[in-house]
Amino acid sequence: MIFSCVIVLVVICDQVTKHLILQSFALHDSMELISGFFYLTYVRNTGAAFGIFSGQPDLWRQIFFISVAVIALIVIITLYRVYGKESGLYRLGLGLIAGGAIGNLIDRIRFGSVTDFLDFYIFSYNYPVFNVADSAITVGVGFLLVYTLFFEDREKSQMKLN
């Protein structure tokens, strides 16, 4: 249940926030929320993280990114079926990653690019603009790493004892 609910929640939050940005901002408009640190800035990302592959031909790029997202979702569902009963943290991580992948996949299918709007400056460094789906993927990967590094062996040992 955690897995499905997290996916739905992430997709809804992602798509609602993107819709609000599309309704409220023109492309490249920016609004300062925390001076010198956090802005809402509407950009379109035709590539992947940090704009990777954004210069590739449109058709190739679309086929590539949609294929990667579908393959990733198949892998996530397989991992969930095989290992999902082990840990709530594991299910939560997979759900966050799947929800983020679906949120960005919806944008790629609808617009041919992803709507990004969360814009942070750390000291003088402007971190690449991202969105809720990207955040969910990052946090989900973090949860899987924490589970793998700190809990996986302990839980498997406890299962063997029972």
Select which of 14, 107, 119, 134 is catalytic.
134
Beta bridge partners of 12: none
Residue of 14, 116, 119, 153 marked active site: 116
User: Quick check: helix, strand or coil at residue 115?
Assistant: strand
For 25-151, where are the alpha helices, taking DSSP H only? 58-83, 88-111, 132-146
Known catalytic membership, residue 58: no
Tell me which residue of 145, 59, 137 sits closest to 98, measured CA to CA.
137
Give 125's Cβ-side CA count (13 Å radius).
3
Sequence-separated (6 or more) residues with CB below 8 Å from residue 97? 72, 76, 136, 137, 140, 141, 144
Catalytic residue flag (residue 116): yes
Catalytic residues: 116, 134
